[in-house]
Amino acid sequence: MLDLLSDILTRLSLRGTFYFRTSFTPPFGVQVPGFENVARFHFVQRGEVKVHVPTTGETLRLKQGDLILIPHGAPHALLCNEVRPTDALPLEQVLERAGYKGDGVLVYGGADDDRDTQLICGHFSFTGPAGRGGTGHMLIDRLPPYILIQNYGEEAGTWIEATLRMIGSEMGGARIGGDLIALKLSEVLFAQAIRAYLEHQSPDEASLAGFADQRISRALTAFHQSPAQDWSVARLAREAAMSRTAFAQLFAEKMGTTPMQYLTDWRMQIACHGLTESRWNVADAAAEVGYASEAAFSRVFKKQLGMSPAAYRAMH
């Protein structure tokens, strides 16, 4: 059975797609454009880099071994010390000037070879359901504008440092299967980064407090393992070892929604995934998410997504 985070990321159809490995030398400044339903990361393999995040107004300094994750695909800038965010060039223009064709290393900047900055950069796309905002799950949608993990290799253990080195060696290499291996390893990296972030969250943290609360997490894990069962607030409360009233109040306070609305949202996410990825028909989807009839399932689906299951399947 999948654990909570694994189930969420699997249903969201996380796909890793690398866009470059860099060798930057000062002076350099690169404006990375924003995209919806995309998370980006930059790992400093060598040297240092500043990352300017316009959504927060912050400029962060990353050293060798640091990793930054931009969960919502917001625009940001990669800079050396000498370049201001306003002077950075758009990524498209940088690629053109560097003559970069999409493989190998993106070499860009000045002649100061002694201050070479090497980054492993990538993005992950989510196939969130049409008709609603965000990726399709609050855990991803409520992540902060950026996640900075310093000394990432050390923080995550020696295996993740080895993973990052393997990603670097596989990217653009000549060995068969290298691109696929790099993409799958990047998905591991993304999941591990989110896990590290969640494990350091306080139960009082507003946006993701529910996932840091052991009682709510137990109930959510039980539901995610068997979403088609006949769940009720009382049954979820038993999984959390709480009374029904206390659990409902705690869930609403920490999650910002009711237990049954969370269940409905996730069941519809499962249905969207099955209709598009597994080619379920409407009857299959209804059964997989615990509805006794196609009609009942279709009513809820249309209310949530703004279209019928059959129309959603045809659209994709």
Q: How far apart are CA 64 and CA 288, in angstroms?
A: 46
Overall fold of domain 4-199: Jelly Rolls (2.60.120)
**Which strands make up the sheet holding 58-63, listed edge to edge?**
58-63, 48-53, 76-79, 29-32, 89-90
Whether CATH 3.30.450.90 fits 209-315: no
Render pLDDT for 106-115 as a digit per residue (tens, 0 to 9). 999 988 777 8
SS (H, E, C) the chain: CCCHHHHHHHHCCCEEEEEEEEEEECCCEEEECCCCCEEEEEEEEECEEEEEECCCCEEEEEECCCEEEECCCCCEEEECCCCCHHHCEEHHHHHHHHCCCCCCEEEEECCCHHHCEEEEEEEEECCCCCCCCCCCCHHHHCCCCCEEECCHHHHHCHHHHHHHHHHHHHCCCCCCCHHHHHHHHHHHHHHHHHHHHHHCCCCCCCCCHHHHCHHHHHHHHHHHHCCCCCCCHHHHHHHCCCCHHHHHHHHHHHHCCCHHHHHHHHHHHHHHHHHHHCCCCHHHHHHHCCCCCHHHHHHHHHHHHCCCHHHHHHHC
Q: Could you list the pLDDT tens digit for every one of the 316 residues in the chain?
A: 347 888 887 777 677 776 678 999 999 999 999 988 888 999 898 999 999 999 999 999 999 989 899 998 999 999 999 999 999 999 999 999 999 987 778 999 988 777 899 998 888 887 655 445 445 678 888 888 999 988 876 655 566 667 766 776 666 566 777 777 777 777 777 787 787 787 776 656 656 778 878 899 899 999 999 999 999 999 999 999 999 999 999 999 989 899 999 999 999 989 998 998 888 999 999 999 999 999 999 999 999 999 999 999 988 7
Q: Residue 29 has what pLDDT?
A: 97
For the chain, the maximum distance between any two Cα atoms, rounded to a whole number of angstroms, is 68
Render pLDDT for 152-197 as a digit per residue (tens, 0 to 9). 766 555 666 677 667 766 665 667 777 777 777 777 777 877 877 8
Q: Six-digit token pair at 168?
A: 């670097």
Q: How far is CA 28 from CA 20, 44, 90, 301, in A?
A: 16, 15, 11, 49
Q: How far is CA 112 from CA 20, 87, 116, 217, in A?
A: 21, 19, 7, 50
Q: How far apart are CA 289 and CA 226, in angstroms?
A: 9
Q: Residue 127 has what pLDDT?
A: 65
Residue spans of the domains in the chain: they are 4-199, 209-315
The letter for the amino acid at 268 is M
Q: Which residues pair with 107 in a beta bridge?
A: 23
- What does pTM read for this prediction? 0.80
Q: How far apart are CA 161 and CA 185, in angstroms?
A: 12
